[in-house]
A and B are shown apart, each in its own frame.
Chain A
Amino acid sequence: MTSDYTKFTLQEMMAVAAAREIKDGEKVIIGTGLPLLGAYLAQKTHAPNMVAIYESGAIDCKPIVTPFSVADSVLVPGAAMQGGLMEGLGIVHVGEIDVGFLGGAQIDKYGNLNTHVIGDYWQPKVRFAGSGGSNDIGAGCKRTIVMMLHQKQRFPENVDFVTTPGYFGGGKERETYGFHGNGPSVVISTLGILRFEPETKEMYLASYHPGVTVAQIKENTGWDLKIAPDVHETEPPEPDLVRVLREECDPTGVFLKKQ
């Protein structure tokens, strides 16, 4: 592992971008992988009062080693409360959680996510896991942060199956459903950061990661992606954040690939 914290990987860029989305004191429901690292990075830096929650019913977790799973046994000792799915997802369902993390096989321009199938539902080319807690998190959390591998087939005009609705067809359509949650606020992809236009709810490119071009992002998006007038390079991770990420959040390289 390099000790040069001015150099960073794409994974580290994404984890730092996720951390920046979390405010101090927020209640955050966390998945595994980069969302977990992003959330812990936030907690160890600017958001020490963040409440870390897992759908497995672990509330206000302070694990002493990096958890690998949302139901890892290291989440339990030290937690403020440990229950089950009814406790973990019940507080999501009621609308008390500020931030949830989502991902998926496909996302469309209104943030609708697919984690079910590629192809026809009844005769799938590829069958994925299903919703799990994704749809619950999308419906209940005040806002969601979506983390995606940015490829054309993963950013299609229309998803093959709507597992977790974003803004449906855009505009005010989501509001008619009466969800507690307000929908996705940001998509952190492997190429850039995308947000949603406040009126139309259409996804647009806010920034491109260091070393990536706008053209490259457009090429890897399945619709004519709108670009923010002030589109700019994503702020590179501060060396100190890279250090905390490597040395404190994932010292054994559970998720961060060793250099």
Chain B
Amino acid sequence: MKKSKIMTAQEAVSLFISDGMTVGIGGFFHSPSYAITHEIIRQKKAHLTICQPSFNEHADQLIGAGCVDRIISSYVWMEVFGPLYCFRRAMEKGIPHKIEMEDYTNFAVMARYLAGSLGIPYVPIHSMKGSDMMNYRAWHGEKKAILMKDPFGSGHDHVLVPALNPDVGYFHCQRADEEGNSQMWGIWGDMPWSMRACKEVIVSCEEIITREQIGRDPNRTILAGYKVVAVVHAPFGAHPKHCQGYYDVDRDFIFKYIRESKTEEDWKKYMDEWVYGVADRDEYAKKFVNTFGMKKFLGLKAKDMMSTSVNYGF
């Protein structure tokens, strides 16, 4: 048996995330790792460049907490739930400090990850052509994106976006084994390309399973364990977002966050209560039950809608 990579979120963040790193964060509304995000905030990591095709409240909290200098993304918002106020305060007023954003499209960030995951320097895309995202460039400058005539003769220009290879990535999935072989279903989001492009990966998961169980359904594995450096067991680790088959999105809690992040003062109270005031994800879950009741907690639990099994025989 290979060496176990199972550790706490505290150990994983302390060992593998350093100030100034470029960090790829996995997920697309579904299954972001709040377990790791909150630990980064508690450990007061600073000067991070955070990358994700589309960011939600987890980015807002990292920005408000002062962990972030730069963002590579297409979106920082929470859909019809509403705006993210720490992001807006930082972009509009430089609170807690001025941050920069390299504005791409959702697909353009995916294309950057695709290039990064394949070890090629860039990928040509149709998106972004003619938009002001080509005219306004942050710290990447000329290297944000380059317009180039198709050398194969279509007659059209394409936008070349450069490979993105974050120093470290983290994501949350349903289950992983102690080597880091990770299985995910439902909405993959930026997976697997984002994590494949990262140099090292921290995975948090709802359940730890055995290597034998992984091997019984290897098509469900979204990332093989060899580049995973830490496996964190974090049930309820994506709340208030959903994790398919485990729990649904907690809309009330997201609305609560958006409401309470409108002013800096209320936001700090929220963070003291739900991030700084809890040591880890277990305490968070206990606090959730104590605050909102077991009925609410169980109400989020996913219904059983089992897939049929397939024959992997030969």
A interface with B by C-beta (< 8 Å): 32-33, 55-58, 68-73, 75-77, 82-87, 89-90, 92-93, 116, 121-122, 124-136, 139-140, 161-165, 168, 177-180, 255
Q: Which of A77, A87, A131, A255 is B106 in contact with, Cβ under 8 Å?
A: A131
Residues of A within 8 A of B74 (CB): 130-133, 135
> Does B206 count as interface, using CB distance less than 8 angstroms?
no
Interface segment among B11-19, B120-128, B174-182: the answer is: B120-128
Q: Does B77 contact A (CB under 8 A)?
A: yes
Task: Check if B133 sits within 8 Å of A131, measured CB to CB.
Answer: yes
Interface hits, B164-193 → A, CB 8 Å? 185-193
Q: Are A73 and B248 in contact (CB under 8 A)?
A: yes
Q: How many B residues, CB 8 Å from partner? A: 56
Q: Is B116 an interface residue (CB 8 A)?
A: no
Q: Are A93 and B126 interface neighbours, CB within 8 A?
A: yes
Q: Which residues does chain B contribute within 8 Å of A90, judged by CB atoms?
A: 107
Pair B131/A163 contact, Cβ less than 8 Å: yes
Question: Are A165 and B28 also in contact (CB < 8 A) when A73-B186, A85-B110, A133-B74 are?
Answer: no
Within 8 A of A (CB), among B68-83: 73-77, 79-80, 83
20 chain-A/chain-B pairs, Cβ below 8 angstroms: A57-B188, A69-B29, A71-B30, A72-B249, A73-B187, A73-B248, A73-B249, A84-B187, A85-B110, A85-B189, A122-B136, A126-B92, A130-B103, A131-B74, A132-B74, A132-B106, A134-B105, A135-B131, A161-B132, A179-B129
Tell me the interface secondary structure of chain B in the complex.
Answer: loop
Q: Let me know if B136 and A121 touch, CB within 8 A.
A: yes
A177 to B126, CA, bound (A): 9
Contacting pair A131 B187 (CB below 8 A)? no
Question: In the complex the two chains form, is A127's CB within 8 Å of B75's CB?
Answer: no
Assess whether A85 is in contact with B136, with CB atoms less than 8 Å apart: no
- Tell me whether A82 and B129 are in contact (CB under 8 A): no
Question: B193 contacts A76, CB within 8 Å?
Answer: no
Residues on A with beta carbons closer than 8 Å to the beta carbon of B125: 93
CB-contact partner of A56 in B30, B92, B127, B128, under 8 A: B30
Chain B residues within an 8 Å CB radius of A72: 242, 249
Most chain B CB within a 10 A radius of its CB, from A76, A84, A128 = A84
B155 contacts the other chain (Cβ, under 8 Å)? yes
Q: Give Cα A160 to B189, complex, Å.
A: 30
The answer to whether B189 and A76 have CB atoms under 8 Å apart is no
A86 neighbours in B (Cβ, 8 Å): 110, 114, 193
Instruction: Give the distance in Å from the alpha carbon of A131 to the alpha carbon of B145 in the complex.
Output: 15
Known: A56-B189, A93-B125, A168-B130. A85 touches B107 (CB 8 A): yes
From B73, B88, B190, B302, A85 is in contact (CB under 8 Å) with B190
Q: Which residue from B79, B106, B186 sits with its C-beta under 8 Å from A89?
A: B106
Structural contact, B107 and A126, CB atoms closer than 8 A: no
Add 6 more A-B contacts to A68-B251, A177-B130 (CB < 8 A): A56-B28, A73-B187, A73-B242, A85-B53, A86-B110, A161-B136
Cross-interface CB contact of B157 among A55, A132, A178, cutoff 8 Å: A178
**Interchain nearest-CB distance for A114 vs B (Å):** 8
Query: Which residues of chain A have C-beta atoms less than 8 A from B107's C-beta?
Result: 85, 89-90, 92-93, 133, 136
Q: Name the A residues within 8 Å of B77 (CB-CB).
A: 128-130, 132
